[in-house]
Structure 1
Amino acid sequence: MKKVRVLVVDDSAFMRKLISDILEEDPRLEVVGRARDGIEALKLLGELKPDVVTLDVEMPKKDGLATLEDIMVLRPTPVVMVSSLTREGAEITIKALAAGAVDFVAKPSGTISLDMAKVGDELRNKVLMASGVNIALLAHRRAPLSLKEAPQPIEPRGEPSEIVAVAASTGGPKALQELLSGLPHDLPVPVVIAQHMPPGFTASLAKRLDEISALHVVEGQDGLELMPGVAAIAPGGKHMLVEKKDSRFICRLSDAPPLHSVKPAADLLFLSVADVAGAKAVGIILTGMGRDGTEGARAIRSKGGFVLAESPETCVVYGMPKSAVEAGAANESLPLYRIPERVKLLVKMRKGE
């Protein structure tokens, strides 16, 4: 059995040892090197050529974000960030995901987490998953200009869509950046998003996306009225639902147990959107591992709504979209760079236009 070779980078000798021990509990993983800072990490990267790097966010000399950017230039390699649950740590982590990191794991109790074993399974699973991604998609998601022709026309339906619901997991923050930056500020419908992410990080994600998108992007709050041109992201650790009062869409948060081991879960968001919008709903399933979103997408499509699945050529992990496609829950599969134009057609399309 060929083992996944891992380079562990952390400025704490204790954390380097602890993370290494946790990883090597899985016989499929082998820690081939440890680095105390970004400068040493880049040196070992060239010498050891690891399959995956675990990278501390906060380090002296060269922090995790700067190190990641250099890795993506010098020797693109799948990276799993290891972040402390601080505001600064969360903001850097979100920037790292946008810069090409595959995923991240939050240290349970700060920079020195004696209880790191609490997230041991998550860390091992994410490193194993990272070893199988297409690293070229993390560093360069954009398609050649020659491929960016407009999507084929869709058969017009009776009325334009009224709400767009999006599901994303691994690779999602970068995919959301491309999706939302392709939508106009005057989009005539609200957008609701379930991105698999723990508490403490979705506020930073919303802030980051708001800065680079023409849409106004916020973290969802209970009772928030969902307005055209606004995108609401489910808070980490909460499920987000949509209800309708008169003609208004309202955001609702739920503390129900995790579904598919995730919270927020896209299925719950999509099911609520299917209930309140029916044929006037659009569902989008982006990159991610697992099958979350498939049941909700099936509900949207069965009520006459339209479901888009990201196609494999642009997916960091073709798991969630593949599940929806194989279940017959998607109307259409498109590469990420074509989805914004399709959304604009769907929300403005009227019969006879």
Structure 2
Amino acid sequence: MVKVLVVDDSALMRKALSSMLTAAGDVDGSGPVEVVLARNGEDALEAIPRERPDVVTLDVNMPVMDGLTCLSRIMAEHPVPVVMVSSITERGALVTLEALELGAVDYVAKPGGTVSLNMAEVADELVRKVVRAARARVRAGGSLTARLRRQREEAHAAGPRRRDGAPARAGAAAAGGGTRGTGSTGSTDLVVVGSSTGGPALLSALFSALPADFSAPVVVAQHMPASFTGALAARLDAACPLPVQEVTALVPVLPGRVYVARGDADLVLARRGGGLVARPAPAGAGYRWHPSVDRLVTSALEVVDPRRTVGVLLTGMGDDGAQAMTELHARGGRTIAESEESAVVWGMPGQLVARGGATRVLPADQITAQLTGWV
């Protein structure tokens, strides 16, 4: 059985969410879903130690105590997996990303705004994410993010700074060129990163710890809808010493920059005029998750020397990226699988390990250092 605490100030939304969850029956062998209710964040904090839920679904906009305040208190006082239920707006995307950095495991976007009359459209997604969240690892106090931020501060302490006090960006030094050729003094021409559940917060922590002179381009496929990836790229750009952009059209792939695949589509790499480019592509029917990590890595294998490519597979449900990164490893590339001890969900990286495709299996707080050493 999975016990879920549904937190929403709308009686209509509480009823809708409760009905969808209890009607699901046995999902993935987890047994039936039992639901208890709370009207706001304050009620939720009182209910959690009493009800001991496996998962909490948490609205963002509530009176008395809002969702973000409640979430931070949950992570500090009663760590339990939380799935945010927020509106699918620009502000909703930004707030959801903040919630993921605070420790939420996943999110479900209300298709009709704050009080949605169309929740049935996302019933399957809601049930799937809630049941999977029950198996996720949750750590108190955001300790991983804190450790990685300390690493970043130490790494950049003696480095060049921008006028606003942030680390100087490395992209300017490479503005005139494409990816390095075989004459490069470095050992890496490309880094490809794949992640899903638990990924946004980890990406922020990892990229913020990169040195400003990190010279390889980084291309990221994070499973997300299109309404969220733009906000994700903007948030990463604010945290990372390298320029970060969402790929919405064909762009040259330049050293020292980070490229985020647009949601609800795929991203592929190609050659144009001898230089490496990234372009969005319609979601491929042969791939289950989007943006597809497998499709991104497969395209990279066609246009970049595998021996000069690094693949990183982070937390996420399923096996997206495992097959293509195993092929990358077999062809001389280097790969990192996030270890089970730090992954929110050890699905994708676990599959890479199981297939023998991981050069290194590392906890999250060691991944940036390994990448920096290789690049």
Answer 1 or 2: higher relative contact order, Cα 8 Å, separation at least 6: 1
3-state secondary structure, aligned to 2:139:
helix
Q: Whole-Å Cα distance in 2 between the matches of residues 280 and 246 of structure 1? A: 20
Q: 1:10 aligns with which of 8, 17, 22?
A: 8
Q: Whole-Å Cα distance in 1 between the matches of residues 287 and 97 of structure 2? A: 23
Structure 1 residues 37 and 220 mapped into 2: Cα distance closer, same or farther (>3 Å)? same
What are the residue-to-residue correspondences of 1:318-337 with 2, within 5 Å? 318-337=346-365
Is contact 2:147–2:365 with CA below 8 Å preserved after alignment?
A: no
Q: Whole-Å Cα distance in 1 between the matches of residues 55 and 95 of structure 2? A: 20
Matched with 2:250 is: 223
TM-score (norm 1): 0.89
Cα offset for 1:230? 1.2
- Deviation string 1:67-88 (CA, Å, 9 cap, x unpaired) is 1111111211110001111111
Structure 1 residues 194 and 235 mapped into 2: Cα distance closer, same or farther (>3 Å)? same
Tell me the matched-pair count: 335
Matched with 1:317 is: 345
Cα offset for 1:191? 0.4
Is contact 1:284–1:308 with CA below 8 Å preserved after alignment?
A: yes
What are the residue-to-residue correspondences of 1:1-353 with 2, within 5 Å? 3-27=1-25, 28-136=31-139, 139-141=142-144, 160-278=187-305, 279-347=307-375
Structure 1 residues 94 and 143 mapped into 2: Cα distance closer, same or farther (>3 Å)? closer
3-state secondary structure, aligned to 2:297:
helix
> Matched residues, percent identical?
43
Aligned-pair Cα RMSD in Å: 2.1
- Deviation string 1:135-156 (CA, Å, 9 cap, x unpaired) is 12784326989xx9xxxxxxxx
Q: Whole-Å Cα distance in 2 between the matches of residues 316 and 226 of structure 1? A: 30
Is contact 1:76–1:139 with CA below 8 Å preserved after alignment?
A: no
Structure 1: state its 5+ residue gaps: 149-157, 348-353
Q: Whole-Å Cα distance in 2 between the matches of residues 314 and 238 of structure 1? A: 28
Structure 2: state its 5+ residue gaps: 26-30, 152-184
Q: Whole-Å Cα distance in 1 between the matches of residues 144 and 285 of structure 2? A: 31
Cα offset for 1:171? 0.8
Is contact 2:18–2:35 with CA below 8 Å preserved after alignment?
A: no
Is contact 1:273–1:300 with CA below 8 Å preserved after alignment?
A: no
- Which AA in structure 2 matches 1:327? R
Is contact 2:197–2:317 with CA below 8 Å preserved after alignment?
A: yes
